[in-house]
Amino acid sequence: MGKQSAVDELLQRIASAFETLPRQLQNVASYLERERANIMVQRINEVAAGCEVHPSAVVRFAQRFGYSGFSEMQAVFRNDYTEGVTPARSYQQRIRKVIAEGEGNLPTAQMALRFIDASRIGLDELAKSLDAAQFDAAVNLLVKAENIYVVAVRRTFSIASYIVYALQHTHKRVHLVSGLGGMYREQIRSIGKNDVLIAISYPPYGKETLYCSRVAHQHKAKVLAITDSALGALGREAHITLMVNEGSAFAFRALTSTICLCQALFVALAYRLELKVEETTHPGEYDD
């Protein structure tokens, strides 16, 4: 079975209790969900200011959900970030945690099955939560776009690379914002009001992805976000948000649901464009 992060579990508890909370505590709940990637570095006064409440309300909120105070609740977000970052040392730490918890004694095939189960759970969740109206609106954006820019970094870069490859089978002009040579600014600066940026990111959100999203807004382009929250740093300012909650195993998140959603997005667009993808390879051509 895939295991949720402690932050995801906390946010689910908060969501379940949201309607029963006083208005001030609802403000805190909304802020935590929206700023989950930043809570770990914020002081209680900053959180209170963002929620437009007194710091004592933030303390009451934390205590409402079983914590001694803000610092103990903040540690949940900090630990989640530590497990989610991408450097090799963090991966090594996660592997050592698996060993320390005894899960490293599982047969390797059993580890594979755990990841398959996690991916299956994520796909089941995607099927249940897919917003048909948002998906249709996303396809409409792409149909109308003169240019399609795609950005994702680190863990999700492979997804960006795939969706660019797929979209290049249409007549659309498609651009991968790869940042090669550090040139994110140069690669995104030509985006215009008739264009769409597909931005893919999960907490901790890629700063490069957020930068490209801001530039797209400044240039009056549309932003299609693929992320885990409509209230997160990427989703809350996007024109269309497609939400994905990936399954995880051994503290490693899968990418299965994200690639599935991107493939579905391409197929739906191709259908709308009445695209006929060439399935045979002619002599002298590249093998697609």
Q: Please report which confidence band the pLDDT of residue 286 belongs to, taking 50, 70 and 90 as the band edges.
A: low
Q: Give the global pTM.
A: 0.62
Return the residue matching tokens 């490859």.
165
Give residue 78's region: left, alpha or beta (phi > 0; psi -120 to 50). Answer: alpha
Q: Please report which confidence band the pLDDT of residue 280 belongs to, taking 50, 70 and 90 as the band edges.
A: very low
Residue type, 201: S
Distance CA 122, CA 261 (A): 11
pLDDT at 6 over 60: yes
Distance CA 20, CA 30 (A): 14
Question: Which pLDDT does position 233 carry in this prediction?
Answer: 72
Question: Which pLDDT does position 155 carry in this prediction?
Answer: 83
Question: Which pLDDT does position 164 carry in this prediction?
Answer: 92
Return the residue matching tokens 């991966």.
91
Question: Which pLDDT does position 88 carry in this prediction?
Answer: 44
Distance CA 24, CA 215 (A): 33
- Give the pLDDT confidence of 164-208 residue by residue, as tens digits: 999 988 888 999 988 888 888 888 888 999 999 999 988 777 888
Question: Which pLDDT does position 87 carry in this prediction?
Answer: 46
Strands lying side by side in the sheet with 173-176: 173-176, 147-151, 196-200, 222-227, 240-243
pLDDT, averaged across the chain = 80
Q: Is 176 helix (H, G, I), strand (E, B) or coil?
A: strand
Question: Which pLDDT does position 84 carry in this prediction?
Answer: 52
CB atoms within 10 A of CB 13: 13
- Give the pLDDT confidence of 100-159 residue by residue, as tens digits: 555 556 667 777 777 777 777 778 878 888 888 889 999 999 999 999 999 988 888 889
